Every structure is written in structure tokens, then in C-alpha cells.
Amino acid sequence: MKESPEREILKLIAYFDVFNYPLKIEEMSRFLSLSEEEILDCINHLNQLDLISINGQFVGTSDLDNKLSKRLIGNEKAEKLWFKAEKNARLISKFPFVRGVLISGSFSKGFIGEDGDLDFFIITKPGRLWVARTSLILYKKLFLFNSHKYFCVNYFVDEDHLEVEEKNIFTATELVTLLPMINLELHQNLIKNNKWVNEYYPSLFHDNENIEKAQNSRLKRFTEKAMSGKIGEKLDQYFMRMTLKRWQKKFSFLSDEDFEVAMKTTTNVSKHHPNNFQRKVLDRHQEILKKLIDQYEASAHVKTAV
């Protein structure tokens, strides 16, 4: 059963309120199957009910002015990082078996917080994901002194397994806001393999006029050829087992269920989210949304009683 427009809007506002991030009305229309006029009518009504706040073109919940100030600062910071984001995406694409590079996290939404970083979503050749990942991690440790500030490579999938298993508002939001940097075709395949996101959002996917092809240097070609056979297969499996063993020891505080989601380690997927950010976001979203919906229903009940 389709939700009412006002409930749709409350769900969206509640989600971004987890990040203290007010939305523009035009941004909301990209996430919702509603026109800007319909959204404006709804938010004016919700504002009259004291459920949300409005500041010019921005919509949020409590303490809107403070949140908006921080958003605008973060937006400006993200704009200044574009060159570095493009440069690092090209660098990542030069590594063996990397086929596509996208940016996720806050930067894909045009924002960088005080402690924010550049999160890269990387698509690899099937059967060589762990070779690609390990080479990138070694580069980060040796040449970037293990800094992940602008080189956070925490999510890998291979090009034959593009469907995201966890299907919820967090993963849907991350998917539809992924910013493609390298290999447009793979981004389009990613969209085709995750049509389930339409249950959450109508058709919001990023465009980027500056998408490039994966870099195919002489060293990359040589390395891939050298690891094309059984040596590459065994090395990939070794790197996966070695990483899993280390993660199980290092993150033993995670339950089996949380480890499976936050530290997914399979032949075709690698996630490194030890803080289980997804669960925290989903729990906080439900908390904010419940409060808003309870207030909304109470207001509707009072109106009906009158």
C-alpha cells in the first residue's frame, strides 16, 4: 500500500536528519515521486503542525539554522575536494583488476564534514577482488602512511555480482547517490542489478559528465597477465583467508550477525565497516521517524476530533 505524500516526506526528512542534513525542496523532488509543488504544499502543512522547520529552500527538523550552517560549510568543502576525488579515482583505476570506481558516503551527496573522508566503491574483475583490494591497501599503508582521509577503500564488489544483498533505506540511499568516476557502463550495470531500490526511491541516480575509462597502464597489463591463471586464483583466495582471519581476531567484539553485514568477506564482496554504521543509521532513522509519525498521527487525531 502506497504511503501518503506527507508520510513519504517525513520518512525522507527523518533519514537525512540522522546526519543533521537539511534538504532543499528541489533535492527532495529527486528522491520522491512528487512534484516540487506537491512537496511544497505538504511541507507547508507539516510546518503548520510544528513537525518540521523551513528556512528558505531548506527543510529539516529542530535546530534547523545550526544544521543548515554546518551543511553549507560542508558543501563548500566538498566542492574544493573535487580535483582530489577525480585524481584518486584515476589512481585507483590503475591498480590491477580494478574495473570501475565510484564514490559513496557523504561526498557523493556533496558534503564533507569536519572528520569526513572520501569513500570509494570499487568494482573489480571476478576472481581477483582480493588481489585488487590487497594491492590498494598496501599502497595506502606504504605510501599514505595508512591514512584513509582521501583514500578510503572500504567496499569492493566484482562485476559479476553487482546486486547488493542488504536491501534497506540505507543501502538504497547509498546506491542511488553513488557518484560514478570510472567506467560508465559498469555504473549502468549496477543500476540494472539493483532495481529493488525503486521501492525506496523512484529513479534517482547520479550523472557525471567527467566519467573516464579505467586506466590500463603497461604495469597493470603485465600484472594482470602474470596473475591470469591458477597463481592468481590461489593468491586471491590466500588474501581473502588472511584478511578474514585478521578481521575475526581484530573485530571479535562484533556479533556474528553484525560481522556478516559490516565485515562481509566473500570471493566477490569485501566490506570494511567495523563500526557497523549501517545498523546505527537504521536504528537512529527509526527513532526519529517514529517520533515524527507519532506527532503526525496525534495532530491528525486532534483535527478529526475537532
pLDDT per residue over 76-107, tens digit each?
A: 999 999 999 999 999 999 999 999 999 999 99
Q: Which tops the pLDDT comparison, 203 or 253? A: 253
User: Within this chain, do residues 121 and 252 fall inside the same structural domain, yes or no?
Assistant: yes
The pairing of strands 98-104 and 179-182 is: antiparallel
**Looking only at Cα atoms, what is the longest distance across the chain?**
77
User: Within this chain, do residues 157 and 193 fall inside the same structural domain, yes or no?
Assistant: yes
User: Within this chain, do residues 216 and 125 fall inside the same structural domain, yes or no?
Assistant: yes
Amino acid at 221: R
Q: How far apart are CA 97 and CA 132, in angstroms?
A: 6
pLDDT per residue over 182-235, tens digit each?
A: 998 999 999 999 999 988 987 666 666 667 878 788 889 999 999 999 999 999
186, 167, 189, 161: which is closest to 266 by C-alpha? 161
User: Within this chain, do residues 145 and 49 fall inside the same structural domain, yes or no?
Assistant: no
CATH code, domain carrying 51: 1.10.10.10
CA 287 from chain centre, in angstroms, equals 21
User: Within this chain, do residues 150 and 246 fall inside the same structural domain, yes or no?
Assistant: yes
Query: Averaged over 130-143, what is the pLDDT?
Result: 96
pLDDT at 296 over 90: yes
User: Within this chain, do residues 19 and 34 fall inside the same structural domain, yes or no?
Assistant: yes
Q: Range of 102's domain?
A: 83-275
Quick one: cell of 133?
Answer: 583490494
User: Within this chain, do residues 148 and 22 fall inside the same structural domain, yes or no?
Assistant: no
User: Within this chain, do residues 172 and 95 fall inside the same structural domain, yes or no?
Assistant: yes
Mean pLDDT of the chain: 92
User: Within this chain, do residues 218 and 288 fall inside the same structural domain, yes or no?
Assistant: no
Percent of the chain residues past pLDDT 90, beyond the cut: 80
Task: Tally the domains of the chain.
Answer: 2
User: Within this chain, do residues 45 and 109 fall inside the same structural domain, yes or no?
Assistant: no
Residue-level length of the chain: 306
Helices (H), the chain: 5-17, 25-31, 36-48, 64-80, 82-93, 129-143, 169-176, 184-192, 218-226, 230-250, 256-262, 277-305
User: Within this chain, do residues 289 and 241 fall inside the same structural domain, yes or no?
Assistant: no
Sign of CA dihedral 177, 182, 188, 189: negative
pTM: 0.92
The pairing of strands 58-60 and 23-24 is: antiparallel
Query: Averaged over 166-187, what is the pLDDT?
Result: 94
User: Within this chain, do residues 28 and 138 fall inside the same structural domain, yes or no?
Assistant: no
DSSP state of 4: P
Q: How far apart are CA 64 and CA 54, in angstroms?
A: 8
